[in-house]
Amino acid sequence: MATLHVLKVFVGENGAGGNPLGVFLDGGEVPDDLRHEVAARLGFSETVFVDGAGLGEVRIFTPGTELPFAGHPLVGTAWLLARERSEVPVLRPPAGEVYARVEGDTAYITGLPEWAPPFEHLELGSPSEIEALSGPPEGHDLVGVWAWEDEVAGRVRCRVFAPRLGVEEDEATGAHAVRLAARLGRAVTIRQGVGSEISARPAADGAVEIGGRVEAVEVREYEAQ
């Protein structure tokens, strides 16, 4: 049996939204050849397997593929390690070294835009147009659709569709936030999905720091064999 932690990441105002995440802090309890299957069975947009907690070594799987970098899994894992083991200043997914910090119920990670999947960016004229979408715009299978809620204040309304990765619509997408903040060249607060909230700001050397509030949902034993 493996121990599975379930979290919500990028939780918004009054507990709204938050992207579900599965984390196995002892990733070795799940054999490498079963990880795709386990991620698909769990059905979260991403599941994390921590292979070296002290060194921050992690692997990230969607129901359809393995990712070298992803935002909400790394934010959630940074928070969980600080809560259950010890805070790790650097996480090491396959993409490279990701700096992490935790402040209470909020965690932050810093990544490079080129590590993120190659999301398209489609700007619409108003948040109401974003709300009206019934699915991804025709012809797009990896796209962030966004509009300004308040350009002066840096508030953005966004929805992200990623069927290419096995995720029809993601509730909160940190990797897309990294690319969007880099594209806009400014700090933004992104309201995504049904109420999730992501903060994103360009940092040094082309990197972007993203962060948000994390909540623990449950811990349960999982039969991974």
2-22 pLDDT per residue, tens: 999 999 999 999 999 999 999
State residue 83's pLDDT score: 97
Task: Give residue 204's pLDDT band: very low, low, confident or very high (50, 70, 90).
Answer: confident
State residue 8's pLDDT score: 98
Helix axes 71-84, 174-184, angle to 10 degrees: 120
CATH for 104: 3.10.310.10
Question: Same structural domain for residues 33 and 84?
Answer: yes
State residue 161's pLDDT score: 97
pLDDT at residue 225 greater than cutoff 80: no
117-174 pLDDT per residue, tens: 999 999 999 999 999 999 999 889 999 999 999 999 999 999 999 999 889 999 999 9
Question: Same structural domain for residues 32 and 83?
Answer: yes
Question: Same structural domain for residues 95 and 9?
Answer: yes
In this prediction the pTM is: 0.96
Question: Same structural domain for residues 149 and 216?
Answer: no
Question: Same structural domain for residues 15 and 107?
Answer: yes
pLDDT at residue 183 greater than cutoff 80: yes
* Closest-CA residue to 62 (of 179, 196, 162): 162
State residue 187's pLDDT score: 98
Question: Same structural domain for residues 134 and 96?
Answer: no
Cα separations (Å) of 150 from 108, 128, 153, 155?
23, 13, 5, 5
Number of domains in the chain: 2
Question: Same structural domain for residues 105 and 11?
Answer: yes
Question: Same structural domain for residues 91 and 157?
Answer: no
CA distance 49 to 44: 13
Where in the sequence is the domain holding 185, given as residue range(s)?
A: 115-205
